[in-house]
Amino acid sequence: MKFSECVTFFERFMHEEVKKMYYCEPSLSLMDWLNPISDDVEFTASIFDAYGTDGVISVYIDHVGVGVDGWFDDEEVDDDHGSCIDGENEDNIDELRNGNVEFK
């Protein structure tokens, strides 16, 4: 499957346009390890990384009206799932919010 086919799959599944796509290994901090997927090279890297986690990978999709940056304000301090970003590398939050990832 190519990246463009993956985007088409998610758009059909969600019935919405995919704006941006990211992935993270489930056991890693979302703030430190959120990676964009915007082309075939990054899509292949996400698949390669999934081999190290027994085929499990978390995929995050920005779609109309809902983006990753909106999660930052809603994230709770008592997150037991390892994805808490409150207090974690807060200097990088603006960098991630302002990230300009374009699909190719």
CA–CA distance, 14 with 17 (Å, rounded to integer): 8
What's the pLDDT score for residue 29?
A: 79
Please name which of 69, 1, 72, 6 lies closest in space to residue 37, comparing C-alpha atoms. 6
What's the pLDDT score for residue 80?
A: 53
Q: Tell me the whole-structure pTM to 2 decimals.
A: 0.57
5, 47 Cβ separation under 8 angstroms: no
Q: What is the mean pLDDT of each run of 10 residues along the chain (104 residues)?
A: 91 86 83 87 90 86 65 51 46 50 47
Chain mean position to CA 95: 14
Phi-psi region of 13 (alpha: psi -120 to 50; beta: other; left: phi over 0): alpha
What's the pLDDT score for residue 58?
A: 87
CA–CA distance, 23 with 33 (Å, rounded to integer): 8
What's the pLDDT score for residue 38?
A: 92
What's the pLDDT score for residue 53?
A: 85
What's the pLDDT score for residue 101?
A: 47
22, 34 Cβ separation under 8 angstroms: yes
